[in-house]
Amino acid sequence: MNMASVGILFLFFIIIRAQSEGKAFVEVQCKTGNVGQYGQQSMLDCVVTTAEEVKEPKILVVAWKKKGSEDDSDKTLLVFHKGNTTGQPAYRFAESSWNDRNMNISLLITNTTMVNSGDYTCSVMTDSGDDITKTSLRVTAKYNKPTIRSIPENITGREDVTLSCSSVGGYPKGQLRWFDEHNQDWTASSKMEAELTNDGLFKLSSKLSLLKNSIFSKYTCIVFNSSGGKEDEVTLEIPDTATSKGQGEVKGLDQTSKIVAPLVVIGSLIVGLLLALLIYRRRSQRDHREVPTFESNAEQGAHVEMYKEREDGTALSLPLSGDCSCHMDITTY
């Protein structure tokens, strides 16, 4: 008897017993939602529970089925009947030593792929009653480390540049985001595409356009999963000669400033010292300068006076002739 015939026979017994028995002595309890990782093992947890009055129940039939696509509505995966277990190569009972007295009927998927994602039914027939329940599996896949390249390949800084980043092998649809050396997010300036490949996984591609006068020295492309969690990243470093002109000029100005600033300070000190010396000399000359004046003709018996300038701008008159009467005048310039 093949698995399809077993499924029909099992369904027939379920209907007959459901009509004849009012009380359920057997119940199949499954975890509502299960999550599997692509390329790894996945398990659908299900156990059989019985009423207290049921003693040492024995399982007669177990049938695991998956709600398939349009061309395969009910695909039988694993069947136990009359002591024999048959099924698809990638499916088996979670416990390798499983037997008809073991109430753990969990299904193990040995190599999970995207086709395993979907809804499942588990049907059980025992010597004390029958039951059927549903469960589901959601498959996720981790994205591979992204790769990044530039167009043109050799960045000189004399032309516009396009950076291209891609990551494959992920599910569900994720996102690629761009960051510069200062951790500034440039994702809004990029364009991303998501392509579903033949194996049911996504390929993400993103392009970021850079103008020749606005290129930073480092760009990082990070891949995030559908939940917003970071999975992996790659960084491209731009040669210093290819960074933006504005940034180069700033660096050049910084270097020039480091050289010019000390020279300006030294020059200012020298000029200050020269000015101080000049002022000192002028004041010294004013303190010792003498100015001769003649109030009358010497032949008429006039006297000669000498004036000495004071610091406050006044002049002190000193007589020089012994014949004239001595006097002292204060003259203000």
Query: Look-up: residue for tokens 């020039």?
Result: 256
DSSP 104: B
- Residue 287 phi/psi, 5-degree rounding, is -65, -30
pLDDT at position 96 is 87
Q: What angle do CA 169, 171, 172 make, to 5 degrees?
A: 150
Question: What is the maximum alpha-carbon separation in the chain?
Answer: 166
Query: Look-up: residue for tokens 């950076």?
Result: 163
Identical topology for domains 3-140 and 147-243 = yes
Tokens of 109: 């998927």
* Averaged pLDDT in 10-residue chunks for the chain of 333 residues: 53 48 77 94 95 89 85 81 92 93 96 94 93 96 96 88 96 97 96 95 97 91 96 92 52 54 76 79 65 44 48 50 45 40
Tokens of 329: 């005048």
Task: Count CB atoms within 10 A of the CB of residue 147.
Answer: 12
Task: Count CB atoms within 10 A of the CB of residue 319.
Answer: 16
Q: CA distances (Å), 177 to each of 147, 150, 195, 300, in order?
A: 13, 16, 17, 109
pTM for this predicted structure:
0.63
pLDDT at position 25 is 86
List alpha helices for the chain, DSSP H.
3-20, 245-288
> Do 200 and 169 touch, CB atoms closer than 8 A?
no
3-class DSSP assignment, residue 101? coil
CATH number of 3-140: 2.60.40.10
**Gap between the terminal Cα atoms of the chain:** 138
Q: What whole-number distance in Å separates Cα of residue 65 and Cα of residue 124? A: 12
Q: CA distances (Å), 94 to each of 43, 60, 161, in order?
A: 7, 18, 54
Q: What angle do CA 90, 96, 102 make, to 5 degrees?
A: 115
Tokens of 78: 């694993």
Assign residue 313 a region: left if phi > 0, alpha if psi is -120 to 50, beta otherwise?
A: left
Please state which architecture CATH assigns to domain 147-243: Sandwich (2.60)
Domain spans in the chain, listed from the N-terminal domain onward: 3-140, 147-243, 290-332
CA 76 to mean position of chain CA atoms: 45
Q: What whole-number distance in Å separates Cα of residue 110 and Cα of residue 287? A: 110
pLDDT at position 302 is 45
Q: What whole-number distance in Å separates Cα of residue 201 and Cα of residue 205? A: 13
Strand-pair category, 130-140 with 33-37: parallel
pLDDT at position 299 is 43
Which residues are CB-contacts of 87 (< 8 A; sequence separation ≥ 6)? 3, 64, 76, 77, 78, 79
pLDDT at position 244 is 58
